[in-house]
Amino acid sequence: MNRLNYHHLYYFWRVAKQGNLTATAEKLAISQSALSAQINQLEHSIGQPLFAREGRQLVLTELGHTVLNYAEDIFQRGEELQQLLKRGVITLPSLRIGMLSSMSRNFIESFIEPLLGDNAHAKQASFRLLARPQPELLDLLAQHQIDVVLTNREVSLSDDIAWQSQLLSRQALSVIAPATRTDLPNHIDPAYRRQRWVVPGSASPLRAAFEGFCTQHQLEPEIIAEVDDMAMLRLLARDSGALAAMPAVVVRDELQSGVLSKRFDLPNAFENFYAVTLQRKFQHPLLSELLQSPMIDAIQQATAEQQSDAQ
């Protein structure tokens, strides 16, 4: 492939963002034919089409989407450089965070806490949260449309993409009960043998750990609800009157307010929280700091304090 012409790439970027060749040509104050010629030269140098025509509309090809994502990074950096040269400051772009749609919202909030409030980072940065199923999030990450994926599921190895998966936190699976249930002790006991429960869905590894625990201790749980979404599981734990099996971080606020009580942790049963990234030349400057923040210790300390208060 010939050396990339960034002048041609710039015109492609403007057309791809505008979605209309004529409107873009008017904004750039050049003829439509000249603009079209610039894009044709870029496609010729790449060796593949970046646009496909559907009627009168220009639609990005799969490669076109990939090139657009890189162009966004390139020209966003160029705009930052202009700001630096003019004013001596850089306005950081939004940090784009993808999160598994079924994850605990309390955990997500703990991760982004450095970007909230009045601290220096919060004043200079904005962020976007995007909740999607994991396959879609990984596709967006591979296309450079988001900067990081937060998930509680391990990422499968791929021959095509070198995912970088970092363990952020490891939360024990806990037995959560209404605070009014004074008949239930803070350890496994025959009182737990026949109880009503709300539990994670069958696809969750937490469910398998819960069922193994029940078998080991000869419990006969009455499952009244199976829930994949942690936000919904939190509401049911709070409002159903049933016991719940979940990481304590999911119901952090309810534990702190005294509505719910953590009774005990299931042995050798954990939910892992990961940050998945790709190695990029232009990594968001705040991302590495978030990944190195003492979030794990803070969550564990808060959970321990809530357990102590409940007792």
Q: Which pLDDT does position 68 carry in this prediction?
A: 87
Structural tokens at position 118: 């009045």
Spatial CA neighbour of 97 closest among 286, 272, 299:
286
Asked if the model's pLDDT at residue 289 lies above 50, the reply is yes
Which has the minimum average pLDDT: 39-53, 109-123, 145-159, 267-281?
Answer: 109-123
Q: Which pLDDT does position 62 carry in this prediction?
A: 87
3-class DSSP state for residue 200?
strand
Q: Which pLDDT does position 309 carry in this prediction?
A: 46
Asked if the model's pLDDT at residue 244 lies above 80, the reply is yes
Asked if the model's pLDDT at residue 294 lies above 60, the reply is no
Higher-pLDDT residue of 185, 17:
185
Asked if the model's pLDDT at residue 91 lies above 80, the reply is no
Query: What is the Cβ-side half-sphere exposure of residue 272, based on CA atoms within 13 angstroms?
Result: 11
* pLDDT band with cut points at 50, 70 and 90 for residue 21: confident
Q: Which pLDDT does position 17 carry in this prediction?
A: 84
Maximal CA-CA distance, the chain: 82
Which has the minimum average pLDDT: 10-19, 111-120, 141-150, 269-278?
Answer: 111-120
Which has the minimum average pLDDT: 80-94, 109-123, 156-170, 271-285?
Answer: 80-94
Average pLDDT over residues 209-214: 94
* pLDDT band with cut points at 50, 70 and 90 for residue 119: low
Which has the minimum average pLDDT: 32-36, 116-120, 165-169, 276-280?
Answer: 116-120
Note whether 6-87 and 95-169+274-301 share their fold: no
CATH 3.40.190.290 fits 170-270, yes or no: yes
Q: What are the DSSP E strand ranges found in 95-182?
A: 95-100, 127-132, 148-151, 164-178
Which residues fall within 8 angstroms of residue 97, CB to CB, at 6 or more apart? 111, 112, 127, 128, 129, 130, 146, 147, 148, 150
Element (H, E) at 232: helix 230-239
Average pLDDT over residues 279-300: 68
* pLDDT band with cut points at 50, 70 and 90 for residue 311: very low
Which has the minimum average pLDDT: 70-84, 137-151, 243-257?
Answer: 70-84
* pLDDT band with cut points at 50, 70 and 90 for residue 243: very high
Computed over every residue of the chain, the mean pLDDT equals: 84
Asked if the model's pLDDT at residue 145 lies above 90, the reply is no
CATH 3.40.190.10 fits 95-169+274-301, yes or no: yes
Which has the minimum average pLDDT: 18-27, 97-106, 299-308?
Answer: 299-308
3-class DSSP state for residue 245?
strand
Say what percent of the chain tops pLDDT 90: 38
Q: Where are the domains of the chain?
A: 6-87, 95-169+274-301, 170-270
Q: Which pLDDT does position 88 carry in this prediction?
A: 59
Asked if the model's pLDDT at residue 23 lies above 50, the reply is yes
Q: Which pLDDT does position 280 carry in this prediction?
A: 73
Asked if the model's pLDDT at residue 90 lies above 80, the reply is no
CATH 1.10.10.10 fits 6-87, yes or no: yes
